[in-house]
Structure 1
Amino acid sequence: MKLSEKKKLGILALTIISINTILGLKNIPFAATVGPSAILFWIIAALLYFIPMSLIVAELSTTYPDQGGVTAWVSRAFGEKASFLCGWFYWVANFTYYPSLLLGITVNIAYAINQQQVINNTWLTTLIALVIFWVMTLLTLRGTQMSGKLAAIGTPLGLIVPVILIFGFGFASIFTGHHSATEFTASTIMPTHLSLDTVMFLSTLMFAFSGMEMLGTIAEDVNKPQKTFPKAIWISSAIIGGVYILGTIAFQFVIKISPNQTATALYLFADQITQQFHLPFNLTQILGICFVISILGALSFLILNPTIIFHQSGKSLLPRTLAKTNKANMPANLILWQAVGVSIILLLSSFVPTISDALNMLILMATLAFFIPYVYLICAYIKLRKRDPQTVRPFQIKNNKIAYFIAGIGLFSVVGTILLTLVPATGTTITQYAPLIIGPILFFVLGFWFYKLGTKGKAKKKGLNKAS
């Protein structure tokens, strides 16, 4: 059932959803580990990846608003098989991304309730993560409006408040004469050397900008998508980019951290601010509460989006029980199967000694599979521009050469990230590296197998219909 005109999402709602879905404040301390040169890396990541992807998604979303979603655009360009595999990779990549996100929220909960010792109990953190995920999954079954409402609550309380606190106290520290923990000069801002580690770091910052393509899946629920999409994308892009760059400056001025402190770095920042300004309240606990609210606000949309993308690409191939939708037009059984898969991976991750080790392993497993759909997306954009030159494009890059150049930059960045992910970092053990290679290969084989089963079932169904 389509939403009534009054209930459709406007510019503000779409901007809130995109910011809460893409922006991750945990990326700021990660970026800060390389020092002031992180500022330049953020700008390069935006130029190579974020801006090209935003322009591509804005054009595709407004040109084909009723066909919203990566797999629908890929289907238009390359057909059913490519669309199914694209949706499959998008879906399974999140099986490992969700557990990393959920284990991260348990860290925030521990600080929110001022019980940091919880982090050391892997089975307890897993149990908390499972309960949260299943509650949010059941709420998600109520549809996109529920996701919008949760994001509307999560963004103001869980994202805007921490941003104000970090910016406010960070720049207050700068302008009140406190000593900078980091030396900001022309020489420190420029990278001192180019190595595989620095290029890998840039790829990780590109990953921090991922998610804009998710907006295409809710095109039918957006009021006047041809006008709403470009405005919402540009507003959210400016805010996200600004927060990452300015937040990194403020963070580095207050505190200097090492790579093994990134999980709790924002709380170390809060402790330092509390000492500098002799705050009468617990800033660490306030940030913990805010981050919990923020992730809960985004989680429903993050759960919903990949499943809808996969459902759109495979509804004619999937078994009837998985393709079936509920009263809210949600692929309920597919969402529930996703929850089962995530739960299994979460339980398996409990055997990893520490939460940091588990997070690193899960993120590595997700990265490669997660970027594969972007290759399909950019190639589909290039083909549709060439094949449908007469199609009305309410928002578009006017010059074809510039459009292809921008798409080429995005494709180069994505393919480069995939190839770099396959290169083992210094000190990586075989047990850490094996899941990175075996996981995507297994996903690829399973995807082809499910596609073959689906096409056989589809052909059989057609044969029965003709016979009758």
Structure 2
Amino acid sequence: MNSPSTKKLGVLGLSIISVNTILGLKNIPYAATVGPSAILFWVIAALLYFIPLSLIIAELATSYPEQGGVSAWVNRAFGQRASFLSSWFYWVANFTYYPSLLLGITVNISYAINQPMIIENTWLRTIIALTIFWIVTLLTLRGTKMSEKLAAIGTPIGLVVPVILIFGFGAYSIFSGNPSATEFTAKTITPNSLSLDTIMFLSTLMFAFAGMEMLGTIAGDVKNPQKTFPKAIGITSAIIAVVYILGTIAFQFVVNIKPDQTATALYLFADKATADFHLPFQLSQVLGICFVISIVGALSFLILNPSVMFYESGKNVLPKMLTKTNKANMPSNLILWQSAGVSVILLFSGFIPTISSALNMLTFMATLAFFIPYVYLILAYIKLRRTDKTTIRPFKIKSIIMANVVAGAALFSVIGTIALTLIPAPHTTISEYAPLVVGPILFAGLGLWFYQLGTKETRTQLKKAS
């Protein structure tokens, strides 16, 4: 979509965008709810999912650095229909993911301005979330350079500062002799049983690592992608893994979090640190400001990515109205339709009583829809590795046996996550469970219908032309 003159992202820019897009500090308190065994779960999630998928994406992105990412790779392996459906699911998954992200922003804002009562005001937080979302959406329509600028601001302030504060106060608590809020022993770190709840918890942590595939959609905007991608992925992987694992340890040492406190857990940590160390300022307010900047910085790229992918796979299928681009070569109508759908779901989420319940339901729905395109992605990698012998692969898993092992581990973790998400948790009501099953089926049917309509129109035009 973009001209060669826009290829300006180097290793630093790509690393900044990817870290700010993937790393979510809100995942640390969620992991803390399971206790010290979360440390082992983080390691398992990284080994089974994050590292294998990162290696696969690094090889695909450097071998086929065309704009479109997953949709382009799936199209090369399985054709237009599979590419369209994978991109379709990726596009609609954000209809539930963005609302969860936006509700998180309202929590951050409420603490940033020292007005935590906003969290309890359902419609006020909805209006705030919608306003921020549409402002960032309109800025995103100006192109990838705007996304890079927002990420460049968001990462240093919104991620580096909170990480230093969390690690700093956690480490100070550990080495100053303060008692730990959590018991760290070999027994507590090792899971006592592999129950359904603990396995589902592992699948949720895998979702915390999701997002690396987004880098493929901006390959056309990257300088020398064959060298830049492997370096950026290596830097990103190391930073995210270290922050998640060490952050969880520091967090659990200071405060003990219950499952129904996930929405405000980071601020409970901050309030405890403020009291323990007699700080002359409210740490929760500082973190709130940082998190708002971070999420707004990441949001632009998150809005842009799925629409670019869907545009690349559907530009010959979708109606012309939807594939219209603006002066910045952005698929403006797809972005606006996506934003309209997100707005509707965000409004419906206002009827859910508590913000933690809303966040949990939206996250589960997004997890299921997001992981379906990963199945296409991994299968495309397996096929292209076996059938495409001519393409030069600047970065690749050298042994075909090891490539199959890596792909098998990624496929196992992704399919397992999808299956586990569909298993109802104890005490789940029909109204809570129905969207998880009905949603994907409905979206799959809509995707197939759109594809049939688009290809029928194309076939009709070809017949008339002949």
Match of 2:100 in 1: 100
Q: Report how many residues are paired.
A: 466
Cα deviation digits, residues 148-205 of structure 1 (max 9, x gap): 0000000001111000000111101111111111111111111111111110000000
| Local SS of the residue matching 1:317 | coil
> What letter matches 2:362 in structure 1?
L
Match of 2:437 in 1: 437
> What letter matches 1:157 in structure 2?
I
How does 1:381-400 map onto structure 2 within 5 Å? Answer: 381-400=381-400
Cα deviation digits, residues 335-385 of structure 1 (max 9, x gap): 111111111111111122222222222222222111100000000000000
Distance 1:47 1:354 in 2: 34
Change (3 A) 1:452 1:307: same
Match of 2:36 in 1: 36
Match of 1:248 in 2: 248
Matched, 1:428 2:428: yes
Cα deviation digits, residues 222-242 of structure 1 (max 9, x gap): 000000000000001000000
Distance 2:433 2:223 in 1: 46
User: Residue 430 of structure 1: CA displacement?
Assistant: 0.7
Cα deviation digits, residues 283-308 of structure 1 (max 9, x gap): 11000000000000000000000111
Distance 1:370 1:445 in 2: 16
Match of 1:177 in 2: 177
> What letter matches 2:407 in structure 1?
A
Gaps of 5+ in 2: none
Change (3 A) 1:340 1:6: closer
Distance 2:211 2:69 in 1: 12
Match of 1:270 in 2: 270
How does 1:196-215 map onto structure 2 within 5 Å? Answer: 196-215=196-215
Distance 2:47 2:389 in 1: 26
Match of 1:151 in 2: 151
> What letter matches 1:411 in structure 2?
L
| Local SS of the residue matching 2:37 | helix
| Local SS of the residue matching 1:394 | coil
Match of 2:362 in 1: 362
Distance 2:452 2:7 in 1: 40
Distance 1:4 1:381 in 2: 27
Q: Residues 85 and 447 of structure 1 are in contact (CA less than 8 Å); yes or no, is this contact kept in structure 2?
A: yes
| Local SS of the residue matching 2:243 | helix
Distance 2:434 2:376 in 1: 25
Matched, 1:78 2:116: no
Q: Residues 36 and 249 of structure 2 are in contact (CA less than 8 Å); yes or no, is this contact kept in structure 1?
A: yes
How does 1:223-262 map onto structure 2 within 5 Å? Answer: 223-262=223-262
Matched, 1:139 2:135: no
Distance 1:202 1:52 in 2: 16
| Local SS of the residue matching 1:193 | coil
| Local SS of the residue matching 1:320 | coil
> What letter matches 2:348 in structure 1?
L
Match of 1:55 in 2: 55
> What letter matches 1:264 in structure 2?
T
Change (3 A) 1:152 1:320: same
User: Residue 3 of structure 1: CA displacement?
Assistant: 5.5
Distance 2:168 2:357 in 1: 33
Cα deviation digits, residues 23-81 of structure 1 (max 9, x gap): 00000011011111111100000000000000000000000012441010000000000
Change (3 A) 1:447 1:4: closer
> What letter matches 1:353 in structure 2?
P
Cα deviation digits, residues 267-290 of structure 1 (max 9, x gap): 011111111111111111000000
Q: Residues 20 and 294 of structure 2 are in contact (CA less than 8 Å); yes or no, is this contact kept in structure 1?
A: yes
Match of 1:90 in 2: 90
Match of 1:451 in 2: 451
User: Residue 5 of structure 1: CA displacement?
Assistant: 5.6
| Local SS of the residue matching 1:36 | coil
Distance 1:444 1:4 in 2: 35
- TM-score, structure 1 normalization: 0.98
Q: Residues 151 and 297 of structure 1 are in contact (CA less than 8 Å); yes or no, is this contact kept in structure 2?
A: yes
> What letter matches 2:431 in structure 1?
T
Q: Residues 61 and 68 of structure 1 are in contact (CA less than 8 Å); yes or no, is this contact kept in structure 2?
A: no
| Local SS of the residue matching 1:263 | coil
> What letter matches 2:332 in structure 1?
A
Match of 1:195 in 2: 195
| Local SS of the residue matching 1:66 | coil
Match of 1:372 in 2: 372
User: Residue 7 of structure 1: CA displacement?
Assistant: 5.8
- TM-score, structure 2 normalization: 0.98
User: Residue 4 of structure 1: CA displacement?
Assistant: 5.7
Q: Residues 7 and 220 of structure 2 are in contact (CA less than 8 Å); yes or no, is this contact kept in structure 1?
A: no
Match of 2:116 in 1: 116
Distance 1:242 1:5 in 2: 36
Distance 1:6 1:97 in 2: 29
> What letter matches 2:15 in structure 1?
T
> What letter matches 1:207 in structure 2?
F
> What letter matches 1:390 in structure 2?
T
Match of 2:304 in 1: 304
| Local SS of the residue matching 1:416 | helix
Q: Residues 30 and 262 of structure 2 are in contact (CA less than 8 Å); yes or no, is this contact kept in structure 1?
A: yes
Match of 1:344 in 2: 344
> What letter matches 2:349 in structure 1?
S
Distance 1:405 1:454 in 2: 38
Distance 1:312 1:4 in 2: 17
Q: Residues 67 and 73 of structure 1 are in contact (CA less than 8 Å); yes or no, is this contact kept in structure 2?
A: no
User: Residue 424 of structure 1: CA displacement?
Assistant: 0.2
Distance 1:368 1:243 in 2: 25
> What letter matches 2:288 in structure 1?
G
Match of 2:335 in 1: 335
| Local SS of the residue matching 2:263 | helix
Match of 2:406 in 1: 406
Percent identity of equivalent pairs? 73
Match of 1:161 in 2: 161
Distance 2:244 2:61 in 1: 25
Q: Residues 21 and 301 of structure 2 are in contact (CA less than 8 Å); yes or no, is this contact kept in structure 1?
A: yes
Structure 1 residue ranges, 4+ long, deviating more than 3 angstroms after superposition: 1-7
Q: Residues 5 and 223 of structure 1 are in contact (CA less than 8 Å); yes or no, is this contact kept in structure 2?
A: no
RMSD value, Cα: 1.1
Q: Residues 6 and 221 of structure 2 are in contact (CA less than 8 Å); yes or no, is this contact kept in structure 1?
A: no
